[in-house]
Amino acid sequence: MENKDIYHYGILPDVHFRFSSAEISYAVNAASNLHGFDDAGTELLARTMLAAFFLADLVKEDTKVSVQIRFYDDSEIHSVLAYSTRNGRLKATLRHRPEEDIESAQISEENLGILKVFRWKDGECIYQSIVPFRNQSFETNIENYLRDSEQVPSFLVAYVKLDGLHWRIKGLFLQALPEAKSEHIDAVRELAGKLEEEKSKVYEGTVSQALEILQSSWNTKFEILETGRPEYRCDCSEEKIKELIQNLGKEEAMDIAEEQGQIEVTCEFCNSIYRFPKAQVLELF
C-alpha cells in the first residue's frame, strides 16, 4: 500500500471557519495490522484516530490529545483509545471484552458508553472532559462534545471505507472562528451536510483533490496555511518504562520481580517488550 497520508490546515476566509483536512489511511492500516483487529474494530479505531488528530489541531504544538471511548458491558469492545499531536504523530489501540464478561441485556438505549477527551503536556494531564457517548453516529458525538464542552460550532465528516485489503480513511473538520456570524455557521452546516451525502464521490481521489472539488462546488476559498504528513509512531521508551516501574514503589516492584524473576512490560500501542531483571529493578530505587 502506497503511503498517501497527508494533512492540510487552513481557513475559509469567506465564512470565517478554520479547517483540517486529512488522510490517515496508512497510519490506520499500520495500527490494524500490528494488532490484528477485525473490520469492526478497525473501523472504530479509524474514526477515533481521525477525531484525535482533528482535535489535536485545536491545541498548542507541544501538547497532545487523547480520545477514548469506554463502552458499557453489553459491548464486545471494551474500549478504544487514540493519541495524536498537532503534527500527526498518532498511536492507538483497542481492547475487546472477554466473552464471559459481556452482559446480555442492553444497559442503555440512549448511551453506549463514555467519551473521554484529555490534553497532555510533558506527561501530565492539563485538561479533561468526560461526556456520554450516545447512541448516535461517531461524528455526531464529537460534534456534540465540542458544542457542549467548547461551545464552538464544529462539523466533522469522516470517510471510512474498506477497499479490498486496505482501509481508506479521509476526512474534513470545520470549526467556526470568533468572527463567524450565525449566517456563516448555518451555511457551513448545510455544506457539511451535503458533503456527508456526497463523500464517496468527493473522496474518490486524494484529499487535496477533494479540497479542489469543495472549493469549486461550495464557491468559497480554502486557504491552506500548513501541510504535513501524519505518521503512526509510538513514543514509548525504556526510560518511560523505568519511570512506570518507579511509580509502583520499591516494595511492589520488588515483589513482582521476586515472584517472576523480572518485570516484563509490553507496550499496548506498538507491542514492544521491555524486560528488567530483578537486579536491574533494584537499581531503579
With contact defined as beta carbons under 8 Å apart, do 32 and 24 qualify?
no
Note the pLDDT of residue 75. 83
DSSP letters, 15-71, are TTEEEEEEE-HHHHHHHHHHHT--HHHHHHHHHHHHHHHHHHTTS-TT-EEEEEEEE
Q: What is the pLDDT of residue 83?
A: 97
What does the angle CA 94 – CA 97 – CA 103 come to, to the nearest 5 degrees?
Answer: 140
pLDDT at site 73: 80
Give pLDDT tens digits along the chain (285 positions): 789 999 999 999 999 999 999 999 999 999 999 999 999 999 999 999 999 999 998 887 788 999 999 998 878 899 999 999 999 999 999 999 887 666 665 556 788 999 999 999 988 899 999 999 999 999 999 999 998 888 899 999 999 999 998 999 999 999 999 999 999 999 999 999 999 999 999 999 999 999 999 999 999 999 999 999 999 999 999 999 999 999 999 889 999 999 998 999 999 999 999 999 999 998 888
Q: Using CB atoms within 10 A of its CB, is residue 254 exposed (0-12), middle (13-18) or buried (19+)?
A: middle
Q: Which CATH architecture has domain 238-283?
A: Alpha-Beta Complex (3.90)
Largest CA distance in the chain: 68
Cell of 85: 499531536
Name 147's Cβ contacts closer than 8 Å, sequence gap at least 6.
153, 154
Burial class of 284 by CB neighbour count within 10 A (0 to 12, 13 to 18, 19+): middle
Domain extent listing, the chain: 6-232, 238-283
Measured between alpha carbons, how far is 89 from 35 in angstroms, rounded to an integer?
Answer: 18
pLDDT score for 101: 67
Provide CB contacts within 8 A for 240, sequence distance 6+: none
Q: 6-232 in CATH: which number?
A: 3.55.30.10
Instruction: Please determine whether the domains at 6-232 and 238-283 fall in the same fold group of CATH.
Output: no
Helices 250-260, 238-248: axis angle to 10 degrees equals 110
Count of H-run helices and E-run strands, the chain: 8, 13
The pTM is what?
A: 0.91
